[in-house]
Amino acid sequence: MGFRNIIDRLFNSFFKDRKTLPQSTIDPYAQKVESIDDLELAKFFDESLTPEMEQAMQNYTNNGGIYNYPLQTVISEQHTIEIAKKFFASIDPEISAKINDIIDGNYPEIQLVMKPYDGKEESNVNSPTPNNKPLRVFVPIRGDLRQLYELVHELTHTLDTENGDTTTRKILGEVAPQCMERMLDSFLLGMTDEEIKKYGFDKYILEKDIKDRRITTFISRYHNAQALNNRRGNRTLDSRYMLAQIYSAHFNKFDIESQKNKIKSFIDCVRNDDFEGANSVLGIQINRNNRLQREFHIRETIEEIRNMLFPTVETNRIDKRKSKDIERNIEEH
Ligand SMILES: [Zn+2]
């Protein structure tokens, strides 16, 4: 067991035994994370998953990977970069300028390394550590759409590093990259037929890949919540990833224009260590005293994926009505 794990274990057992701590004896990270009681959120999360959902999720975990579940859309490195640049340009000019500089090698403090996937997972668990410069951002080239998601995800991590790894970043540092991935979903789905043709994509496969990416990400985050609830793993990391799922589920409810404004303000808050501001930008009320809202956020998180795993009754009804309309039209004409 590594030193870090021992510290985490001690940290975890300390919190397990004492839910409320005298504020003066703990560090700012512990204070903030205690204020949202991440362990209780993990408990809600873990207990809210239905056996049917667990069953349906097996289809994804049996395939070898979770986050690394292969996608069917093939993409070149050049197109990956081109689409990432276009995507960030659609979000915000300032963000786009920085990302372009990083990609083009004109940003000395941050070095982007894209290299063929060598079987080592270390290459994609490399949130930049802001205290070492230059930051190195690794993106493995896997030959499919995953590398575009990874590029967008890792580049987003570089947007809030200027003040080091702030307390807010330690807690909410995975939120913006995951929200950005969901905005990439919308961007890809909004591509014109011409663009889709240019990149050699297939619309049906693209839609399936986007759905698979969302589900496999959820599964991975759910495992973080489980680890947290069972007091194993690395509490700090598990907490960050679980919160990314909860926050992004709420973020996904906003329309695209609001998302663009909110993601930028949110990143500013994380960079400036404004924890309350970050929550308020996204309209998240997750403080430990706010039980109803906390339960609402978890329900929203689970519902989103349940609707993707199972076609809802409502959707079925609409489909049936549609097919009736079609039948009627055929009869009438
Ligand atoms: Zn990340």
Task: Write out 184-243 in H/E/C secondary structure.
Answer: HHHHHHCCCHHHHHHCCCCHHHHHHHHHHHHHHHHHHHHHHHHHHHCCCCCHHHHHHHHH
d(CA 89, CA 302): 31
Is residue 330 included in any domain, yes or no? no
Q: Is the pLDDT of residue 260 over 60?
A: yes
Is residue 289 included in any domain, yes or no? yes
Give, as residue ranges, everything with CB less than 5 Å from ion ligand 1.
Answer: 127, 174, 177
Give the tokens for residue 1: 């067991």
Q: How many domains does the chain have?
A: 1
pLDDT, position 57: 94
Is residue 310 included in any domain, yes or no? yes
Residue 58: which domain range? 3-323
Is residue 180 included in any domain, yes or no? yes
pTM: 0.85
CA of 121 to the centre of ligand 1 (A): 13
More confident residue, 117 or 205: 205
Confidence label for 319 from pLDDT (cuts 50, 70 and 90): very low
- Do 214 and 182 touch, CB atoms closer than 8 A? yes
CA of 112 to the centre of ligand 1 (A): 15
CA of 154 to the centre of ligand 1 (A): 6
Write down the mean pLDDT value for the chain: 86
CA of 240 to the centre of ligand 1 (A): 9
CA of 176 to the centre of ligand 1 (A): 9
CA of 148 to the centre of ligand 1 (A): 14
- Cβ contacts of residue 226 below 8 Å, gap of 6+? 42, 46
Q: How far is CA 265 from the centre of its chain?
A: 17
Give the tokens for residue 61: 């975990």
Is residue 331 included in any domain, yes or no? no
CA of 174 to the centre of ligand 1 (A): 5
CA of 234 to the centre of ligand 1 (A): 15
Is residue 152 included in any domain, yes or no? yes
Q: How far is CA 68 from the centre of its chain?
A: 14
Is residue 102 included in any domain, yes or no? yes
- Cβ contacts of residue 161 below 8 Å, gap of 6+? 128, 130, 135, 169, 271
Tell me the per-residue pLDDT of 261-271, one tens digit each, with 9 for 90 and over: 999 999 999 99
Q: How far is CA 113 from CA 102, 143, 175, 216, 333, in A?
A: 10, 15, 23, 25, 60
Tell me the per-residue pLDDT of 135-151, one tens digit each, with 9 for 90 and over: 889 999 999 999 999 99
CA of 283 to the centre of ligand 1 (A): 22
CA of 128 to the centre of ligand 1 (A): 9
Is residue 333 included in any domain, yes or no? no
Which amino acid is located at 257 in the chain? E
